[in-house]
């Protein structure tokens, strides 16, 4: 089945630094990828939709200048948390539909990246 790989799986950084998280589709092409954030004991909240070759679409309340998304190829999307602060500490998960253009809503998730900002 479709595999989505995410790296790093966990990262600790100092406040004010930037952190980049990569999301790769390993055996399929993903024109669209989704970035979610999950705080402890809460559900997944969609942050943004990453579109290959065009600008990402951000959900309401998500700062696009703070969470930079780049989808430069059909198999790679990156999320950069800029000037990270402790409140950005969370579990960041990317996902992609298994078929390009597939509209059923089915998603495969990466392993997730746990960010801790000191």
Partner 1 sequence: QKEVEQNSGPLSVPEGAIASLNCTYSDRGSQSFFWYRQYSGKSPELIMSIYSNGDKEDGRFTAQLNKASQYVSLLIRDSQPSDSATYLCAVKGTGGGNKLTFGTGTQLKVEL
User: Which residues form the interface with partner 1 (CB under 8 A)?
Assistant: 6, 32, 34, 42-46, 49, 93, 97, 102-112, 114
Return the number of the residue (23 or 81) whose C-beta is nearest partner 1.
Answer: 23
Q: Looking at beta carbons only, is 77 or 97 nearer to partner 1?
A: 97
Residue 7 near residue 113 (C-beta atoms within 8 A): yes
Residue 29: CB minimum distance to partner 1, A? 14
Question: In the block, which residue shows the tokens 């809460």?
Answer: 42
Cα-Cα-Cα-Cα torsion 45, 73, 67, 10, nearest 10 degrees, comes to 70
* Minimum distance from residue 112 beta carbon to partner 1 (Å): 4
> Based on CB atoms, which residue is closest to partner 1, 5 or 80?
5
Cα separations in angstroms, 65 against 43, 48, 62, 80 = 24, 12, 9, 10
């Amino acid at each position: 089945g479709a595999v989505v790989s995410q790296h790093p799986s966990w990262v600790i950084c100092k406040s004010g630094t930037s952190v980049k998280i990569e999301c790769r589709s390993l055996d399929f092409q993903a024109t669209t990828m989704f970035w979610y954030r999950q705080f402890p004991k809460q559900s997944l909240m969609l942050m943004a939709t990453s579109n290959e070759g065009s600008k990402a679409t951000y959900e309401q309340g998500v700062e696009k200048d703070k969470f930079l998304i780049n989808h430069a190829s059909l198999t790679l999307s990156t999320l950069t948390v800029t000037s990270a602060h402790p409140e950005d500490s969370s579990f960041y998960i990317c996902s992609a539909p298994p078929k390009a253009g597939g509209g059923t809503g089915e998603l495969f998730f990466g392993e997730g990246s746990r960010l801790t900002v000191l």
